[in-house]
Amino acid sequence: MKLIIAVVQDQDSHHLLSSLTEHNFRVTKLATTGGFLRSGNTTFMIGTEDIRVDKALELIKENCESREQMVAPVSPMGGNADSYVPYPIEVEVGGATVFVVPVEHFHQF
């Protein structure tokens, strides 16, 4: 068994959730925050049999697109000057950042 952890953009989360559940994947959806942009994103936890991992990855690819996003300058006042960016920059976010990890035990009590 594997646990797929997929960080996706909020805009893609509705379609991805529908698609995964239509294909009988069991999914937990978490509201998360990206460390760099400090804006909301969505993380899916999908526990599935090894044989179904490729299908889940295919659905994630189909439903998540990459987008350009502007990062506004963040004042270093009261914060860490190391992360100060003095001018807006454009970053490409997503489609999805995916980790596939082995599950040692799976229990439902």
Where along the sequence are the contacts to ligand 2BA (CB under 6 A)?
7, 34-37, 41, 91-94, 97
Cβ proximity to ligand 2BA, 7 vs 56, nearer residue: 7
Q: Residue 47 or 94: which CB sits closer to ligand 2BA?
A: 94
From CA 87, how far away is CA 84, in angstroms rounded?
9
**Smallest distance from the beta carbon of 10 to ligand 2BA, in angstroms?**
11
* Backbone φ, ψ for residue 8 (5° rounding): -130, 165
**In terms of CB distance, is 23 or 74 closer to ligand 2BA?**
74
Q: How far is the CB of 50 from ligand 2BA (least distance, A)?
A: 23
Q: Between residues 26 and 38, which has the closer beta carbon with respect to ligand 2BA?
A: 38
For CA atoms 16, 20, 22, 27, give the dihedral sign.
negative
Contact 45, 32 (CB under 8 A): no
Distance separating alpha carbons of residues 6 and 18, to the nearest angstrom: 15
* Residues constituting the chain: 109
- Residue of minimal Cβ distance to ligand 2BA: 34
